[in-house]
Structure 1
Amino acid sequence: MLWSLAAAAHSELLIKKSRFLGCVEPVPDRAAAVARVAALRAEHPGAAHVCWALMAGGQSAAHDDGEPGGTAGRPMLEVLRHHELDGVLATVVRYFGGVKLGAGGLARAYADTVAQALLRAEKVAVQRRVHLACALPYALEGLVRREFEAVGGTLVRVRHGDEVMLAYQLFEPAAKTVRERLAELGRGRIHWLPGD
């Protein structure tokens, strides 16, 4: 099961005089993540680095922002993956304290900062929306509409021709329920269309 976050959560670590300010927060996509990172850079002009990692479906990313390759963004991304998160941006603002941490130390510092923020975060289950479309006789239109509405379905399209074609969006767990219920109530007269 995938998880997202209800709201942003923060952490702060001090490691060998370097200050690491972490944040994990829900974001819808990469564009929102990039905008948030730009805002953080503006808020922290004296920071040495603003590193980030994003888990958002096919838009995942990891950025080291000048830290040695693979020592910041990648460890942060692995923490998000380990927690099975999606639609989540992790950022760490680093104020350099004058003591080098080495590659292993940096990777631990960035991963720990994100992990500490996640300890304060409230996870929420990601509910994916799916698309269901069916064709049916006019006599069943009211019944089918009521069944979809009962599970929170949103009507996307309706077409009236020889039969009625209805297309709905709904949360994935409800899709199985409504299909089973309509198979029983429709007695073979409701036909699911490709792409559902």
Structure 2
Amino acid sequence: MDYLDTYHTIASASDEILYKEKGSKFFGYSFPLATEEEVKPIIETLKKLHPNAVHYCYAYQLGTAPTMSYRANDDGEPSNTAGLPIYGQIQSFNVTNLLIVVVRIFGGVKLGVGGLISAYRTTAQMSLQVCEIIEKTIDVHFIISFDYINMNKVMRVIKEKNLAIVSQEMEMDEATGNPIGKIEIKIRKKSAEMIFDTFNSIFEINIEQL
């Protein structure tokens, strides 16, 4: 089976899980993530939910190799005792496009470096264990541009190849006054080159990768 154009992620946000260690409470949450900009609002929501917490540690990963990005945040805990153990579970479960947050309410007893690493790792693991992990395809998006009279040619290929249309629109060509069609399609990565060549070989049709 070809895994080169697939990846695994979580289907939806997890339920809250709770892990206790020497009086401290660790609340774990997993969230699907599409962009880095979504992280801050999620953290702010959890701060309102747990106003007495002292640490809101997290890790996230976006994308797939070679354009993958990630971040691990200790949020005041000793260096590498929170964010990296959380991120380690993202790697262990082989998932991406998600955020895991562990909120700690201090219980009065210091856990030490080893205790913290274990607690954050365990909480992240428990949070992922309650998630449904699903497989998704890595898709390539193209914009097809064409004179309206060539609409049938484009739609025939889309139908024959069973391609997914993301959006479509018509606009007027300022130079000629003729209607121009634009259709955005998405294709599994392994089929993208073949589909590109198919459209690229049709006269008067332009295709560009987004």
The bucket for the TM-score relative to the shorter chain is 0.7 to 0.9
Which string of whole-angstrom CA distances, capped at 9 and with x for unpartnered residues, describes residues 4-56 of structure 1? 21211132111122111101111222221111001111211111211111112
Q: State whether residues 73 and 83 of structure 2, in contact with CA within 8 Å, keep that contact through their aligned partners in structure 1.
A: yes
Gaps of 5+ in 1: none
Per the alignment, do residues 156 and 84 of structure 1 end up closer, same or farther by CA in structure 2, a change over 3 Å counting?
farther
Which string of whole-angstrom CA distances, capped at 9 and with x for unpartnered residues, describes residues 101-154 of structure 1? 221221121111011111110112233331235688998742432332532233
CA RMSD of aligned residues (A): 3.3
For 2:96, what is the secondary structure of its paired residue? coil
Kindly indicate whether residue 34 of structure 2 is the aligned counterpart of residue 28 of structure 1.
yes
Identity %: 26
For 1:120, the equivalent position in structure 2 comes to 130
For 1:100, what is the secondary structure of its paired residue? coil
For 2:43, what is the secondary structure of its paired residue? helix
For 1:8, the equivalent position in structure 2 comes to 13
Q: State whether residues 30 and 60 of structure 1, in contact with CA within 8 Å, keep that contact through their aligned partners in structure 2.
A: no
Alpha-carbon distance in structure 2 between the residues aligned to 1:16 and 1:174: 51
Q: State whether residues 163 and 185 of structure 2, in contact with CA within 8 Å, keep that contact through their aligned partners in structure 1.
A: no
State the one-letter code of the partner of 1:44.
H
State the one-letter code of the partner of 2:111.
L
TM-score by length of 2: 0.73
Alpha-carbon distance in structure 1 between the residues aligned to 2:29 and 2:202: 52
Alpha-carbon distance in structure 2 between the residues aligned to 1:33 and 1:18: 24
Gaps of 5+ in 2: 1-5
Q: State whether residues 132 and 175 of structure 1, in contact with CA within 8 Å, keep that contact through their aligned partners in structure 2.
A: no
TM-score by length of 1: 0.78
Q: How many aligned positions are there?
A: 192
Task: After TM superposition, give the deviation of residue 155 of structure 1 in Å.
Answer: 4.7
For 1:146, the equivalent position in structure 2 comes to 156
Higher fraction of helix: 1
For 1:101, the equivalent position in structure 2 comes to 111
Select between 37-46 and 147-156 the one with higher mean Cα deviation.
147-156
Select between 21-30 and 165-174 the one with higher mean Cα deviation.
165-174
